[in-house]
Amino acid sequence: MNTSVIETSSTGTSALEAARLVLARDIRLALRKRGQLIQPLAFFAIVTTLFPLGISPELSRLRDVAPGVLWVAALLSSLLALEFLFRDDAQDGTLEQHVLSGQSLTWLLFAKTVAHWLLTGLPLAVMAPLAGLSLGVPAAALSGIVVSVAIGSVALSLIGSIGAALTLGVKRSGALLSLLTLPLSMPVLIFGARATELAIRGAGFAPPLYLLGALAVLGITLAPLAAAAAVRISLE
Amino acid sequence: MSRLAVSIKTQSLTLRVDTRAYGAKLLNLRDSRAIVPPPTEPMPERRLQAENLHLWRGDRHVLRGVRLCVNSGECLQITGGNGAGKTTLLRTLSGLMYPEEGTITWGGENIRRDLQAFHADLAYIGHEPPLKPDLTAEENLRYWVGVRRKLATHDMNRELGRLGADQWGNRPIRTLSAGQKRRVALAGLLLIAAPLWLLDEPTTNLDAEGQRLVGTLIEEHLARGGLAVAAIHHELTISPAVIRRLELSSK
Amino acid sequence: MAWTWFHRLGSPPYIYGLAARLTPWFAWLAAVLIIGGLYGGLILAPPDYQQGDDFRIIYVHAPSAWMSLMVYSTMAISAGVGLIWRIKIAHAAAASCAPIGASFTFAALVTGSLWGERMWGTYWEWDPRLTSELILLFLYLGYMGLRSAMDDMQRADRASAVLAVVGIVNVPIIHYSVLWWNSLHQAPSVMQLAKPTMPPSMLIPLLMMLFGFTVLFVALLLVRLRAEILNRERAASWIREAVTQ
């Protein structure tokens, strides 16, 4: 057996391999700048701490508002993380090279969004139970919270990727980004909070979770296309 | 320092094994050719042509009926003062910008028909080298070039050595000087091994030796049948026989 | 040859002149329909057996709410046309739609809230239609915000067009998710007047108002489109001739 035959110095990279490289690069970069990773999580923790201080320390009252608090906080912190999604790549010319790579831009941006979700959405889902406990959520409901936040944040990352790509040409884009992204995210908030609420009550929370999943799937199919169009426009 | 280098080496080793597995599984590749360094492969005859390009930026008429033609083995040198539209022209030729009027053809076919295929034939290096400050030179090349084509470590080391950049391959880009970054980017350009080079001020920040090296690299590229379009202030040190010139006036 | 009309529709001077000629027709038609509709609705129609005269705000509220969606669709379609075929005039039309649509949305919200005060005793109730309307207003504000944040007109056109298309895909999702959300938290709203069970004396003025608002939108769009073209083509020579005429 000749094992060294596949020395493919002249072949192009397959789409799958290209996506894997984009994903690996973003994760490696994020791990080198851990401060940026922690910011949205710290923000999430702080926002959920504000509510008991603003409403009441009684866990029974907090439990009623917990779904809303958790999801609004998740929405805002995912928004905070979005600013990093394309900004650095746009500044150092990496985004331009993605467009000119001969690979499908939609596909590469999808890989970037997956990396973004792994680095921000997934940690959020892991942290949400802690915040839930501090809001009086019973331990039995925590798994429901993890699952709903994990799925919901997929949709949030995807919707957000459109907003982040659209505001690439804008200098101070924070407020505009939220104005563009939040109205589109409202269905995620509705279904996510509903799933959390049902989980807290100990009821079956599968139906809103399915709807959340449907939003995520719709996002996976359409959002990268829109983000790719927006990225091309920002480079025109 | 040495431990760092070792760990990176092993990483790159696993990466290579990985890509082989991918290639073998997905594409069912059976390539029994000897290891051929990419730049020496002959390239098919090609022509980049632009007709009557017009482009406005707001009220500014930047490109006013530009026409040009570059064949395999030729280098087009775009000159002109600041704001004459050199970068705009390069970006338009690359397909990044969309001219209001006019067409660009590559090998006789409008580049808009299959932009992705055109981009696979194209290497574009803008004003700033497209490198991530927080990654090392080698990591940058591995990702940047790797997205386009399979990158073998020995190829990378050879080209980095060619550019005199091998001794700082393990250093993060942000610790390099502007000229050193430029050299790393030029190594990437060679590794991409595309027939068409679009270069925006490729000699910026380079010392005299580096500038001569750019001339040599372009000459070699042309000798292999490649094409180059370069926006440039200084005269390139290459044979006048293969150079075409395009002067953009800023009004 | 079949395409000449299409190309002429993309030509700013032609559209500029056409809009000028068409505006009075639409404006007068809108005036007649709206005055007739208001007369029919506010004076001729009998009071509602439950709500008395309060229901008459429907003659402004319902057409405004209808227009808010209709203008958004028009905006998204013309933005999409501009995006796909790179027709500048389509972008100009989309840009002209946004403030008109936002105004209709705002009017629908204000009239809805006034109506709510009479019906529920509060100016704001999280009724699903009002909530959807509010989110729609945010979508309009986002669109206009994105436009104004970009200095480069072409980039603003194309980026906002992507947003409009994304928005129109999301409008039904938002609408149904809000309906679903509302059905969990409260009984169906009482605001269900616009049913075909309305007597003709009430329905005909409402239809006249709906149609009148639509025509009014076209007239406003033509006026704004002319202004938009003037702004965009200010450097072109035909503008000087058109303005000094």
Would strands B60-71 and B47-57 be described as parallel, antiparallel, or unpaired? antiparallel
DSSP-based helix, strand, coil % in chain B, nearest 5:
40, 25, 35
Is B159 a domain residue?
yes
Closest CA to C105 of C61, C74, C145: C61
Cβ pair A14:B129 closer than 8 A:
no
Task: Check residue B34 and give its pLDDT.
Answer: 36
Is B137 a domain residue?
yes
For residue B209, what are the contacts with CB-CB under 8 A and spacing of at least 6?
none
> How far is Cα of residue B48 from the mean position of the Cα atoms in its chain?
15
Distance CA C164, CA A14 (A): 34
Domain span at residue B170 reads 37-247
Task: Check residue B14 and give its pLDDT.
Answer: 32
The residue count of chain C comes to: 245
Is C21 a residue whose pLDDT tops 60? yes
Which of A34-43, A158-167, B155-164, B237-246 reaches the highest mean pLDDT?
Answer: A158-167
Domain ranges of chain A: 15-235
Cβ pair A169:C152 closer than 8 A:
yes
- pLDDT, tens digit, for every residue of A191-224? 999 999 999 999 889 999 999 999 999 999 999 9
Confidence category of residue A172, pLDDT binned at 50, 70, 90: confident
DSSP letters along chain C, please? -TTHHHHHHT-HHHHHHHHHHHHHHHHHHHHHHHHHHHHIIIIISPPBTTTBGGGGGHHHHHHHHHHHHHHHHHHHHHHHHHHHH--HHHHHHHHHHHHHHHHHHHHHHHHHHHHHHHHHSSS----HHHHHHHHHHHHHHHHHHHHHH-SSHHHHHHHHHHHHHHHHHHHHHHHHHHHHHHHHHSPPPS----STTS-HHHHHHHHHHHHHHHHHHHHHHHHHHHHHHHHHTTTSHHHHHHHH-
- pLDDT, tens digit, for every residue of C190-219? 445 445 567 888 889 999 999 999 999 999
Number of domains in chain B: 1
- pLDDT, tens digit, for every residue of B163-220? 999 888 899 999 999 999 999 999 999 999 999 999 999 998 999 999 999 999 999 9
- CA closest to B32 among chain A residues: A5
Element (H, E) at B13: helix B2-22
> Of B54, B56, B59, which to mutate for an interface test with C (greatest number of C Cβ within 10 Å)?
B59
Is B8 a domain residue?
no
Are the C-beta atoms of residues A68 and A149 closer than 8 Å to each other? Answer: no
For residue C194, what are the contacts with CB-CB under 8 A and spacing of at least 6?
C58, C62, C206
Element (H, E) at B154: helix B153-162
Cβ pair A99:B96 closer than 8 A:
yes
Mean pLDDT of the residues in chain A: 91
- What distance in Å separates residue B185's CA from the closest CA in chain A? 12
Distance CA C89, CA C11 (A): 7
CB-nearest to C155 from A169, A179, A183 is A169
Is B107 a domain residue?
yes
A97 near B CB under 8 A: yes
Q: Which residues of C touch B92 (CB under 8 A)?
A: none
**What residues 65-94 of chain A have any CB closer than 8 A to a CB of chain B?**
88, 92-94
pLDDT higher at C121 or C111: C111
Confidence category of residue C13, pLDDT binned at 50, 70, 90: confident
- CA closest to A186 among chain C residues: C174
Task: Check residue B251 and give its pLDDT.
Answer: 59
Is B26 a residue whose pLDDT tops 50? no
Cβ pair C166:A186 closer than 8 A:
no
Is B20 a residue whose pLDDT tops 90? no
> Percent of chain A beyond pLDDT 90?
82
Distance CA C167, CA C25 (A): 32
Q: Which residues of A touch C162 (CB under 8 A)?
A: 162, 166, 226, 229-230, 233
Is B189 a domain residue?
yes
For residue B106, the domain's CATH number is 3.40.50.300
Q: Which chains touch A (3 or more CB pairs under 8 A)?
A: B, C
Domain ranges of chain C: 22-244
Helices A174-201 and A142-166, axial angle in degrees (round to 10):
160
> What's the mean pLDDT in C24-37?
96
Distance CA A40, CA B138 (A): 30
Closest CA to B128 of C51, C37, A90, C182: A90
Is C51 a residue whose pLDDT tops 70? yes
ipTM, two decimals: 0.90
Is B113 a domain residue?
yes
Q: Which two tokens mark C4? A: 């000449």
- pLDDT, tens digit, for every residue of B70-108? 999 999 999 888 888 999 999 999 999 999 889 999 999
> Of C85, C152, C154, which to mutate for an interface test with B (greatest number of B Cβ within 10 Å)?
C154
- pLDDT, tens digit, for every residue of B208-249? 999 999 999 999 999 999 999 999 877 777 777 788 888 888
Task: Check residue C52 and give its pLDDT.
Answer: 82
Is C123 a residue whose pLDDT tops 80? yes
B17 near A CB under 8 A: no
